[in-house]
Structure 1
């Protein structure tokens, strides 16, 4: 299923939920109370902003007496995945965040990747996959970037390890385009970017992706990622420590102005290399 049709299917899920709720004479608040979520969540389900858990879909079927309709539709949609299991929940929360702070130790974050860079990364990690699989993964990653184009886009702050600027993912031309894209988004103030240089010493030894997300109506969360695994953390004490670690990284990183200059310099080096090959 293509990404556009997948989103349309979730919108169909929401429109059917609204239609059948109204036919049952229930408000969003009343239905929410019966399925043990807030009325606001029901509204987000109906607008395809948030996806319900399976047990919620099952309870909706029970309350609205829809003979398993929403459970069956949920299973069909959720089994058609754009993201790895360990990242799916983080991707969903990403759409709801009002602020995202990210540390990238080796790769340009997905929200900033060009199609060429995303394809190179996906191919490197899936050497025997079909073209259809690769294209679907790349499309899913690029679709995530729509949150940065919305009027209500989140505040987005990224710390890139200098490794990100030096590892030639996809070759010189792909890297030049990618770094130019990051620089352009920084200049447009879509994202605030800092670079953690090798000269930062021990701070430059930090490993593991870290993402912090804040929301209007929920406590902040932290997401960490390693090889084929991820952890979504919501324990207040753990999240507090993650924020403290991120603050130290920001303090050790170059200023936004110096970071932009370094990114543009690296892009020029790759562009020059690409033109001579």
Structure 2
């Protein structure tokens, strides 16, 4: 039986689990039947139904096969994922799931796909000081779920350029930053993740030095996502995309090599205030 270890037992919106249980009972099936049909454990099925685990893409598609629901559970899961994010960012989450290559430039904060739970929580708490704990935890859980793209059979190649100032900007506490940098170092063990540090000594090779992400696909044009003060935007204009590809190339040329970047982050961890 397959067991999804990608999620912590964080309470998630009950929609998927409630619908799964309703369909299962309507067909007079047990959780064991669903487990056998999907290839997941009965414990996993139980946790999905209770809302303590959010279902993986694979589990949703297997449920559609078991119940003959023609993509209903996949569509339900997609709607829940999209509702977890601002309307302007939901398309980016979908694009991450379909991209073959993701090129990211992180100027001020570590990109969402590589954030630790505590780092993400500190960001959301700072941006939403009056929000309830439930709201903050829902935002954190949604951000962590974006990591699922690396659990695909063919995960995208992720190339990250991250500024030294981003690594030195204390988010939350010194311990949170230490854990975040340690997580970035661990991420470089993946054959799908490359990371380069743009040191302060490189100056500003990209002028404004604003964060942006380029996403490439097998059967669709490359798209650009860029942050803004009122939310991010997705651009498809070939001219705009080409301009940012050139900017990314210039930034990469000024960044440390892959090995030197890893050495830089390891040394940063050893600094007294890291």
- Fold agreement, TM-score > 0.5: yes
Tell me if structure 1 keeps the 8 A contact 2:107–2:210: yes
Q: Deviations over 1:182-205 (max 9, x none)?
A: 011113334110111111123275
Work out the CA distance in 1 between the residues paired with 2:156 and 2:14. Answer: 22
SS of 1:168's equivalent? coil
- The RMSD of aligned alpha carbons is 2.9
1:162-201, aligned counterparts within 5 Å? 162-201=164-203
Work out the CA distance in 2 between the residues paired with 1:237 and 1:204. Answer: 17
4+ runs of 1 displaced by more than 6 Å? none
Tell me if structure 1 keeps the 8 A contact 2:119–2:171: yes
Work out the CA distance in 1 between the residues paired with 2:257 and 2:209. Answer: 21
Q: Deviations over 1:199-227 (max 9, x none)?
A: 11232754322100111111111110122
Residues matched between the structures, number: 223
Gaps of 5+ in 2: 1-10, 17-53
Post-superposition offset of 1:151: 3.0
Post-superposition offset of 1:170: 1.3
1:85-96, aligned counterparts within 5 Å? 85-96=87-98
SS of 2:219's equivalent? coil
SS of 2:177's equivalent? helix
Counting helix residues as a fraction of each chain, which structure ranks higher? 1
Work out the CA distance in 2 between the residues paired with 1:229 and 1:191. Answer: 26
1:55-70, aligned counterparts within 5 Å? none
Gaps of 5+ in 1: 22-44, 52-72
Aligned position for 1:114: 116
Tell me if structure 1 keeps the 8 A contact 2:102–2:215: yes
Tell me if structure 2 keeps the 8 A contact 1:116–1:174: yes
Work out the CA distance in 2 between the residues paired with 1:259 and 1:160. Answer: 10
Aligned position for 1:2: 12
Post-superposition offset of 1:238: 1.3
Cα–Cα, structure 1 residues 204 and 263, in superposed 2: closer, same or farther, change >3 Å?
Answer: farther
Aligned position for 1:160: 162
Tell me if structure 1 keeps the 8 A contact 2:206–2:250: no
Q: Give the TM-score normalised by the residue count of structure 1.
A: 0.72
